[in-house]
Amino acid sequence: MGFIVEGDESGDVVLEPPPNFSMVEEGIFRSSFPRPCNFAFLKTLNLRSIIYLCPEPYPEENLEFLRSHNIRLFQFGIEGKTEPSLASLKDAIRGALKILIDVRNHPVLIHCKRGKVIVQIQLLNVSFACGTELIKHRTGCLVGCLRKLQNWCLSSVFEEYQHFAGMKSRSADLRFIETFDI
């Protein structure tokens, strides 16, 4: 745990974690989409990988940060030419979960998008429609599935989900987590 942060040439760096940043488990972090102002903070985590749960291309400045710090990007965008089914969504979350619990990928940061950008994504998500609603808050769903794997009771899993989803909380996400077969 680094309490003493090394200053750069200009002195002490004030660190700005991405919004909604939190430690999920040893070696596993979650946050909203990191912007360049968050890079100095991310550097202190010594990340080995990032799990990105949206289909949009990763911004070039973020890719550059990843390249220069040797961080591997695992993108689970669940994009498809044809409409992906709920089954393929579950497969994607299962794939992300495998990467997530593999300690060789730790420390790992999971994120999707939040804030204003979420509106665009939800519009884009229309292309994922599969008869019923699809999951919206992907980071929350992935962490929820991880908690099931850890034997957390559902009420605690939901509490944590809602804690981070806030206004973005969706009952479809809770159903997804509940029915996800670990």
Whole-angstrom distance, CA of residue 130 vs CA of residue 137 = 16
Whole-angstrom distance, CA of residue 7 vs CA of residue 4 = 9
Whole-angstrom distance, CA of residue 85 vs CA of residue 54 = 16
Phi and psi at residue 130, to the nearest 5°: -140, 45
Considering only residues 76 through 95, tell me which ones interact with its own copies, judged by CB under 8 A.
none
Copy the structure tokens of residue 100. 């997530």
Is 112 a catalytic site residue?
Answer: yes
Q: How many chain residues bind its own copies (CB under 8 A)?
A: 33
Please report whether residue 2 would count as binding its own copies according to CB under 8 A.
yes
Considering only residues 7 through 46, tell me which ones interact with its own copies, judged by CB under 8 A.
12-17, 19-28, 41
Q: What is the dihedral of CA 42, 44, 47, 51, to 10 degrees?
A: -30
Tell me which stretch binds its own copies (CB under 8 A): 5-13, 88-96, 135-143, 170-178. Answer: 5-13
Whole-angstrom distance, CA of residue 74 vs CA of residue 96 = 8
Minimum CB distance to its own copies smaller for 34 or for 84: 34
Please, are residues 28 and 70 in contact by the beta-carbon 8 Å criterion?
no
Minimum CB distance to its own copies smaller for 8 or for 60: 8
Please, are residues 78 and 87 in contact by the beta-carbon 8 Å criterion?
no
* Shortest Å, Cβ 34 to its own copies: 12
Please report whether residue 149 would count as binding its own copies according to CB under 8 A.
yes
* Shortest Å, Cβ 103 to its own copies: 8
Exactly one of 74, 117, 152, 169 binds its own copies (CB under 8 A); that residue is 152
Residue 74: CB atoms within 10 A of its CB come to 17
From 112, 130, 141, 145, active-site residue:
112
* Shortest Å, Cβ 166 to its own copies: 9
Q: Which residues are catalytic?
A: 112
Binding site for its own copies (CB under 8 A): 1-3, 5, 12-17, 19-28, 41, 101, 103, 149-153, 155-156, 159-160, 163
